[in-house]
A and B are shown apart, each in its own frame.
Chain A
Amino acid sequence: MLDCTPKEPLQKDAHTIGKINPIKTCQPVGAMYAALGIHGCLPHSHGSQGCCSYHRMALSRHFHEPAMASTSSFTEGASVFGGAANLKTAIKNVFAIYNPEIIAVHTTCLSETIGDDIPTIIKQSEVPEGRYVIHANTPSYHGSHITGFSNMCKGIVSYLAESNGSEKKERANIFPGFVNPGDMREIKRIVTEMGVPSIMYPDTTGVMDSPMRDTYEMYPRGGATIEDIKDSGNSKMTLSLGAWSSDEAAATLQSKCGVPGVPLRIPIGVKATDDLIMAVKEGFGVDVPESLEVERGQVVDTLIDVHYQYEGKKVAVFGDPDIMVPLAEFLITMGMIPKYVVTGTPGNKFEKTVNGMLEEAGIEESRVRAEGDLFDLHQWIKEEPVDLLIGNTHGKYIARAEDIPLVRVGFPVFDRAVHPLMPIVGYKGCLRLIEMISNVLLERRDRDSLDEDYELIL
């Protein structure tokens, strides 16, 4: 496996250009995922058919759910003369045939390179009464899928959120970041458990984890309603989870409607979950219910009880920055050593943040990289191995080549099921992470032990 990669460590400047086995993909898939978090929305890809097809495939493979979206079906003519006619035709046909409440248009590298002016085209389009067309610019040659998610979140706020100028409602907006519906469900549950009403968007619960029903619904029952999104301008505050995926949208809502945004991490691990709960407690003056205290106590209890199963193990983690930052922090909480922490998404603040955490924990000689790739990570592992890999499906090649167990976290996970329904956030998510991590390490210990060392109780 991966035998073509060099056996010896590379010279420092051997791989400086492009990506080999990337840890990021392009903006539009993030925008499509965000748009699916609006109820009754049909995402629309303004570009070649292949973009739309590839994004739908990626989402369907990860979630095991339909990912409906339409495309402007560019041909060479549209690429030369501009895609305005294609988009206008598409908007007309989509409303006539597929009848969504809202179309969320995102661009592609093709339409961005041409320079199609989407707001003007939308203004010139036939939009039925009471229906909406919104857009986000998502040039694939900038940032990553996380940037695209963020841009669509910002687009949703810019087009839809309104403030009626009256007193703000005792209610939280939650921008969940690019996470699974299982995570979104858990975050909503925690806030609800604290007695605070909330509006979450994008909200892919009930869309990308929709149940089997007697009848087919092209637009599943889940997703944030347009009405709620509009009203989010009247909420008291926004819990903005994930600096890369949510902060821009929160800042936009703050300046547009005067709803203050509270920048938080995606609540992975005890500390990040504590931070979310403290923000809700302080923001709304509510008490933390005993139920959450119990959940937290169970996590700490488990960490103390079974720390020896994983403590001191070296881990390579890779994936999206908003997941990597709190995950690395939780690994530190577990007493593990995040040896390599890599994201494909650009941004210096990633390295600064993670290095800061490592320094504070007194962990030396770890390597942290933003805008890295799996080829780099693999070469690092060849230089100095780790005990565990945590990341998306693409890590499975390294896992096999180097015989290291892989815990699947993040996007995309193409080779396992059920994960999108199960949270890694909140205290419940802590328990799930502990279970996943210690299980693979113990399986490995069982597998590798001699008969005389093979133990019944661990």
Chain B
Amino acid sequence: MTMTDVNVDELLAPMPDKVKKNRRKHIVKKDLSAGSCQQIEANTRTVPGIITQRGCCYAGCKGVVVGPIKDMLTITHGPIGCAYYSWGTRRNKARVDDRTPPEEIYTTMCFSTDMQESDIVFGGEKKLAKMIDEVVEIFHPRAINLCATCPIGLIGDDLGAVAKAAEKRHGIPVIHYNCEGYKGVSQSAGHHIANNQIMERIIGTGTEKVDGKYVLNILGEYNIGGDAWENERLLEEIGYTIGSTLTGDSAYVNIRNMHKAHLNLVQCHRSINYIAEMMETKYGTPWLKVNFIGIDATIDTLREIARCFGDEELIARTELVIERELAAVTPEIERYQKILKGRTAFVFVGGSRSHHYQFLLRNLGMEVMVAGYEFAHRDDYEGREVIPTIKSDADSKNIPELHLEPEPGIYRPPHLHLKMSKEKYDELVASGVLNDYKGMYPDMVNGGIMIDDANHFETEELVEIFKPDLIFTGIKDKYVTHKMGLPSKQMHSYDYSGPYTCFKGAVTFAKDVAHSLSTPAWKMITAPWEQSKTEQR
């Protein structure tokens, strides 16, 4: 059977009718002959009982976006678990820099109000306020985050009021996030809530001068395994200054000056596109969707950034760096291509990785047959052009939408940010480079499957059909994959390797993938006595 023969309806056949009907809409097969992307359903409720990989709003807000800000002390208001599970469980590396000394870094710490039954009954506001007082006294943080968990909204604790009063008492920013786990349908709601507060409360509050001819922010880069540091190394060599990332290895003291940057780069579209869009509206900062995963993707990205500024010297230095980095990695990449060529994979990861890693895998001679996101929206699959057609529902309506206006005195039209004429800027926008994202679909292989919120049953079925060589997924599926007899690599944590970005990262990734496939134990699953039995038969 070729890939294009796969029948999605048959795949779902054993499911109850209602589930089948729901799930069918979340699966799209790439069909070149059909032209544009068929509509995929995304960012809608998971059917209860389905073994989903999704997490919750709190995980998206505290776990993904807010937690990595290294110089903010983040208190989780709720029973102990939520803070506990989001303690050091994502690999957002953070380090000391010239603006943040070791005493101001809190990312290895876990703060929970540890709510008890009496707090649920009588309210937990006093407890939270007292804990803020204590941690300010002990740690003297620059700023504090307060993250809500499920019970908070139900019992009616007013996080905003507690935050406001604490700011008054202590004279430091105390920022609250109403990111109760049940809000929205996945982590995605939490990204949005975090984006709103970071935009409203942090970005734009800084008054320091940010030096640099070309200042970039990198949005949606969480510095897993040191990815951000590898991106920064190259960008700084070319001549850019990094204002701030959001939020890997980021600091409050830098985020508040983000509006001073000339261009926002967007790596993970899903988790951070809100801020990119809002900064465009409020400050006129243009944004560019980038991808540092994959050698060709990195080259394209570096060239596009240079093109945005149109500076000949910058373009020349970009080419020099590309040439040098490429020369350094090519022999090794070619060696791994020999091992990996023709292998196939599934990629099930959150944000943008299921799209980005297709570029890197293609560089290595591999192909992705099935790709899916846990918590994406339609635009992550189909491209931003579908945004106006996405219908809001009861779940998405619960997440506040900020409506911003250009900030008087600070807003500058985007072409001025890029130091170019309006005409030239309009040309850039028209060529589709700026302020846009085309989604995953255009880069899927013909006949490949795009699947939203894939569940355990479907994964098993798809493995049966496509028989991939390897599955890129998260911890919940990693060992399931192994037990199915397939190598797997965690793409949230890189199995504690990395960085995987840019040129050198591609080599590290290639080596890790080759090792996953070749580890000798794969040949030892059947015991020798069982083998002889098989031969006798």
Assess whether B14 is in contact with A97, with CB atoms less than 8 Å apart: yes
A256 close to chain B: CB less than 8 A: no
Minimum CB–CB distance from B401 to chain A (whole Å) comes to 16
Minimum CB–CB distance from B466 to chain A (whole Å) comes to 15
Interface residues of A (CB under 8 A from B): 1-6, 10, 14-22, 24-26, 28-29, 44, 47-51, 53-58, 60-61, 64-79, 86-87, 89-94, 96-98, 108-110, 113-114, 139-142, 144, 210, 212-214, 216-218, 375, 394, 397
Partner among B47, B55, B116, B182 whose Cβ is within 8 Å of the Cβ of A54: B55
A272 CA / B474 CA spacing, docked (Å): 40
Assess whether A22 is in contact with B48, with CB atoms less than 8 Å apart: no
Contact status of A68 and B456, CB under 8 A, knowing A17-B130, A87-B48 = yes
A69 CA / B456 CA spacing, docked (Å): 10
Minimum CB–CB distance from A308 to chain B (whole Å) comes to 36
Which B residues are CB-close (under 8 A) to A142? 116-117
B53 close to chain A: CB less than 8 A: yes
Partner among B109, B115, B186 whose Cβ is within 8 Å of the Cβ of A49: B186
Minimum CB–CB distance from A6 to chain B (whole Å) comes to 6
Q: Which of A6, A53, A140, A217 has the most CB of B within 10 A?
A: A53
Contact status of A25 and B85, CB under 8 A, knowing A89-B49, A90-B49, A142-B116 = yes
Contact status of A50 and B181, CB under 8 A, knowing A94-B49, A144-B80 = yes
B183 close to chain A: CB less than 8 A: yes
Assess whether B138 is in contact with A76, with CB atoms less than 8 Å apart: no
Minimum CB–CB distance from A133 to chain B (whole Å) comes to 12
> Which of B213-221, B280-288, B296-304, B479-487 forms part of the interface with chain A?
B479-487
Interface residues of B (CB under 8 A from A): 14-16, 19, 45-59, 75, 78-89, 101-106, 108-117, 119-120, 127, 130-131, 134-135, 137-139, 149-151, 153-155, 180-187, 394-395, 398, 456-457, 460, 474-480, 482-485, 521, 525-526, 530
25 A-B pairs with CB atoms under 8 Å apart are A6-B139, A16-B134, A18-B134, A25-B80, A25-B81, A44-B49, A48-B57, A48-B181, A48-B182, A57-B85, A57-B476, A66-B480, A68-B456, A71-B48, A74-B181, A75-B185, A77-B394, A86-B48, A89-B49, A97-B15, A97-B16, A109-B149, A140-B79, A214-B485, A214-B530
How many pairs of A and B residues are in contact by the CB < 8 Å rule? 263
Assess whether A24 is in contact with B80, with CB atoms less than 8 Å apart: yes
A330 CA / B213 CA spacing, docked (Å): 65
Which B residues are CB-close (under 8 A) to A17? 113, 127, 130-131, 134
Assess whether A109 is in contact with B16, with CB atoms less than 8 Å apart: no
Assess whether B475 is in contact with A57, with CB atoms less than 8 Å apart: yes
Given contact pairs A22-B112, A113-B154, enumerate 19 new A-B contacts (beta carbons under 8 Å).
A4-B109, A4-B139, A17-B131, A53-B53, A68-B456, A71-B49, A73-B54, A75-B183, A76-B395, A98-B456, A109-B120, A109-B149, A109-B150, A114-B154, A214-B485, A216-B480, A216-B485, A217-B483, A397-B108
Assess whether A51 is in contact with B81, with CB atoms less than 8 Å apart: yes
Which B residues are CB-close (under 8 A) to A19? 80, 83, 110-112, 114
Which B residues are CB-close (under 8 A) to A56? 476
Minimum CB–CB distance from B429 to chain A (whole Å) comes to 37
A95 CA / B5 CA spacing, docked (Å): 30
Assess whether A67 is in contact with B476, with CB atoms less than 8 Å apart: yes
Which B residues are CB-close (under 8 A) to A77? 394-395
Which A residues are CB-close (under 8 A) to B185? 75
Which A residues are CB-close (under 8 A) to B53? 53
Q: Which of A16, A17, A29 has the most CB of B within 10 A?
A: A17
Minimum CB–CB distance from A394 to chain B (whole Å) comes to 8
Partner among A16, A65, A397 whose Cβ is within 8 Å of the Cβ of B479: A65
Q: Which of B139, B155, B479, B482 has the most CB of A within 10 A?
A: B479
A71 CA / B525 CA spacing, docked (Å): 33
A231 CA / B64 CA spacing, docked (Å): 47
Partner among B14, B51, B102 whose Cβ is within 8 Å of the Cβ of A70: B51
Minimum CB–CB distance from B283 to chain A (whole Å) comes to 32
Q: Which of A19, A74, A98 has the most CB of B within 10 A?
A: A19
